[in-house]
A = this chain, B = another copy of it.
Amino acid sequence: MISYTVELGRRSYPIHIGAGLLERRDLLAPHIAGRALVVCAEPLAELYLARACAALGDVEHRSLVLPDGEGVKTLDTVNTVFDCLLEHRFDRHSTLVALGGGVVGDITGFAAACYQRGVPFVQIPTTLLAQVDSSVGGKTGVNHPLGKNMIGAFHQPACVLADVSTLETLAPREFRSGLAEVIKYGLIADGEFFAWLESNTDALLARDEQALVYAIARSCAIKAEIVAGDEREQGRRAILNYGHTFGHAIETETGYGTWAHGEAVAAGMCMAAALSHRLGWLDETGHARVLDLVARCDLPVAPPQISAERFLEHMSRDKKARGGRIVLVLLRGIGAASVTSDYPRATLTDLLEQQQPAASAS
C-alpha cells in the first residue's frame, strides 16, 4: 500500500492506494463521524457493498443504491440522496461514503457538500478514472442539460481508499478510459513518468497490481501537488484540464456517454498536442510520442466527425472560456503544460477543419 497526504491545511486528507483495501476496517472506520450512508452504483452493489459495509465495523449505517451511468448525474439524483438522508433522520453528524466510479463520487460528494450545509464524505473509487482523477481535488457536482459539471461545489473528502483489486472487474473500455487520465499526468507535469508509462504499457494493460499501484499513486501525487497549490482553481490547476476543452466538446456534441470521458479526453489530448506542434511549442517527436502512447492504449487519437463551427461553439461555452476567448492547455514539451488564450485563432480553426474523424469509439 502507498499512502499519500493531500496537503490542504485543515482540510488535508490521506489517499491510500493498494490491493484489498476494502477489507481494511482500520482504514475506513476512523474517518466516519456519526452515522454513515454508503452510496453505491447498481452494478457494484452486488460486488462490493457488503464488503464496504463490513469495513464500517460498528458504525451505524445504511446504504443507497443508485442506477448506473452518467445519465444519473443530475440534481434530481442528488435530491434522492437528500430524501434518503432525511427519511432516515441523518443529522449533521453523519458521513457519506461514495463507493463506485466518478459519477457516484461526484453525486455523493456534492450531496455531502450541501446536506445541512456540509457533512464529511469518504471516497472509495472503484474505477481507474475515479482513482486517478475524480477522487482527488475536491471537485464535486452534477451535469445540467446545457453543460457538463455546471453545478457543484469544492468539497474535500475526509479520506480516499483506492483499492486496485476493484479494477479486476472493470470493463476493458472503462479501464482504458482511465489510462487516458494517467497519460495526461505524465504529459502535463512529469516527463519521466510519461517515459515510465511508455515502458510499462503492457503491464498496465495486463492490470498488473504493482504497476497499477505505482501509476495511480504517481497520478494522485501529481494531481494532489497541483491542487494543493491552487485549491479553488484560480491558476495553475487549470493545466489538469489538458485535453478536456476539446474532450468536453466531443462529449457534448455526441451526447454524454456515447464516447467515454477518457476516450474524449484521449482524442482531446492528441488535438491539443497537434495544436502545440503547429504553434511550434512541441517538436515532431513529442507529438508522435503522444499519439503513439494513446494508440497503444487502444484509445482514439482523433475526434468523431464534428464541424469546426460546432467545436468552437461548444468550446466557447466551456467554464474556462473568458469573455469569448477560448482558454486552452497546451504543451511546451512532454511533461510541461501551460494555460493560454494567446494563440492565433486561425491555427485552432485550421486544426479543427482538418481533423480526420476517428473510427467509431465503441
Interface residues of A (CB under 8 A from B): 34, 75, 79, 82-83, 86-87, 89, 91-93, 113-118, 139, 141, 144, 146-147, 150-154, 232-233, 317, 319, 321-323
Asked if B319 and A114 sit within 8 Å, CB to CB, the answer is: no
Task: Tell me the bound Cα distance from A321 to B91 in angstroms.
Answer: 7
Asked if A82 and B117 sit within 8 Å, CB to CB, the answer is: no
Task: Tell me the bound Cα distance from A182 to B116 in angstroms.
Answer: 25
Residues of B within 8 A of A146 (CB): 83, 86-87
Q: Of B87, B116, B154, B317, which one neighbours A117 at CB under 8 angstroms?
A: B154
Q: A113-B153, A114-B152, A153-B117 are in contact. Are A319 and B91 (CB under 8 A)?
A: yes
Q: Which 9 A-B pairs have the closest CB atoms?
A: A86-B146, A117-B152, A114-B151, A116-B319, A92-B319, A91-B321, A117-B154, A82-B144, A75-B79
Asked if A147 and B86 sit within 8 Å, CB to CB, the answer is: yes
Task: Tell me the bound Cα distance from A201 to B105 in angstroms.
Answer: 53
Asked if A118 and B154 sit within 8 Å, CB to CB, the answer is: yes
Asked if B118 and A153 sit within 8 Å, CB to CB, the answer is: yes
Asked if B82 and A322 sit within 8 Å, CB to CB, the answer is: no
Asked if A86 and B117 sit within 8 Å, CB to CB, the answer is: no
Q: Of B75, B117, B322, which one neighbours A139 at CB under 8 angstroms?
A: B117
Asked if B153 and A322 sit within 8 Å, CB to CB, the answer is: no
Determine how close the nearest CB of chain B comes to the CB of A244; give it in whole angstroms: 14
Q: Of B82, B93, B150, B322, which one neighbours A116 at CB under 8 angstroms?
A: B150
Task: Tell me the bound Cα distance from A341 to B92 in angstroms.
Answer: 16
The residue on B at minimum CB distance from A79 is B75
Task: Tell me the bound Cα distance from A116 to B139 in angstroms.
Answer: 10
Asked if B141 and A117 sit within 8 Å, CB to CB, the answer is: yes
Determine how close the nearest CB of chain B comes to the CB of A178; give it in whole angstroms: 23
Task: Please name 17 pairs of A and B residues whose Cβ atoms are closer than 8 Å in the assembled complex, sorted by A.
Answer: A75-B75, A82-B150, A86-B144, A86-B146, A86-B147, A86-B150, A89-B317, A91-B323, A114-B151, A114-B153, A116-B150, A116-B151, A116-B152, A116-B319, A117-B139, A117-B154, A153-B153
Task: Tell me the bound Cα distance from A284 to B56 in angstroms.
Answer: 51
Residues of B within 8 A of A34 (CB): 323
Task: Tell me the bound Cα distance from A117 to B146 in angstroms.
Answer: 15
Task: Tell me the bound Cα distance from A151 to B83 in angstroms.
Answer: 11
